[in-house]
Amino acid sequence: MAARDLFVGLMSGTSLDGVDAALVDFASDCAVVLDTAYLPLSGPLKAELHALQAPGPNELDRAARAGNELTRLYAEAVLALFDRAGIAPTAAQAIGCHGQTIRHRPDAGYTLQICNPALLAELTGISVVADFRSRDIAAGGQGAPLAPAFHAAAFGSAAKHRVIVNIGGIANLTDLPAQGAVTGFDTGPGNVLLDLWIHRHLGKDRDDAGAWARSGSVLAGSLAAMLAEPYFAARPPKSCGRDLFNAAWLEKFSLGQAAPQDVQATLAELSARSIADAVDQYCPQADEIYVCGGGAHNLCVLERLRRNLSRCHIATTAALGIDPDWVEAIAFAWLAKQTLAGRPGNLPAVTGAGGGRVLGAIYPA
């Protein structure tokens, strides 16, 4: 059997829906995904992670306990991967564990992703690389987005100017010109406001295929007011999260008298328009756009993105050989590989850090 170079990537993003896990073999020039797993967050854990996004009582104890519970779910996903693949967990080099972001404040010099990497190493018997973002922030960067370095390695083309758009809770883009520097940044809300609004009115976790948004009409005045948010006009490097785009942000727009489905349509247009405006301003020569993340399944957002960027060919990363649901998890497997090899995992042109840095802390098995 040919030698393998196995890493696991774990991702639980701002959408707070569940844990993505990917078992990846990097022995060849391209990443080969051997197996994947998705485990949903339990209702109580999801509620607690939501609550920890804002200041509250007894935060330190609650965050530690939630981190332990989340870590046990991570371990369950990891062991399921190896069981299905018929491979011993000890064959893996490391797990790249992003953790769950509950604060992202690069302006204040910190970011916080909760998990317990020491416990994860104990439960799986695999070395763990975690806390990827802190070193970039310590070097003066935003600590995000970190996936662009992987996007460049996996999706770059010498013939085409591509943009990779990840639509998770927050949307970000990676600009991959055929020649020149790779850049990227968070464009603004992806699914986070859409999920919040449909949960408030219909009790659902997500707007499947964007069907509810499709049933409404865009509120032009509200959209214009939302697009006046200073974040959209700020120049990169920049990053954002639930610290900005949350229920309190929505309350500023007095949406209570509007038909809820019209607000959903407006939020879908906001996600698409903020992405398109960023592409127009910072990637005007782009030929192709490839979408990944949960938002790749929101047909309403994709339709609006195509309408706003009709000059570009738009598809999902499946067209480039990687399922859009697993790109971020694979990216953190790749980042763990970079860490063990002593190679930088950040791109200073993306994050604004003072230089390339080896990211993450290593917890040996």
What are the structural domains of the chain? 6-144+325-363 (3.30.420.40), 148-320 (3.30.420.40)
pLDDT of residue 1: 52
Tokens of 165: 């758009």
CA 226, CA 259: separation in Å to the nearest integer?
17
Length of the chain measured in residues: 365
pLDDT of residue 215: 98
CA 305, CA 241: separation in Å to the nearest integer?
21
- Phi, psi values for residue 329, rounded to 5°: -65, -45
pLDDT of residue 2: 63
pLDDT of residue 149: 96
Please give the sequence-ordered ranges of beta strands (E in DSSP) within the chain, or none if there are none. Answer: 6-11, 18-25, 32-40, 92-97, 100-105, 110-114, 128-130, 162-167, 170-176, 183-189, 288-292, 313-316, 361-363
pLDDT of residue 15: 83
CA 358, CA 344: separation in Å to the nearest integer?
4
The answer to whether 265 and 218 have CB atoms below 8 angstroms apart is yes
Q: Write out the chain's pLDDT in tens, 365 residues.
A: 568 999 999 999 888 889 999 999 999 878 999 999 999 999 999 999 999 999 999 999 999 999 999 999 999 999 999 999 999 999 999 999 999 999 999 999 999 999 999 999 999 999 999 999 999 999 999 999 999 999 999 999 999 999 999 999 999 999 999 999 999 999 999 999 999 999 999 999 999 999 999 999 999 999 999 999 999 999 999 999 999 999 999 999 999 999 999 999 999 999 999 999 999 999 999 999 999 999 999 999 999 999 999 999 999 999 999 999 999 999 999 999 999 999 999 999 999 999 999 999 999 99
pLDDT of residue 206: 93
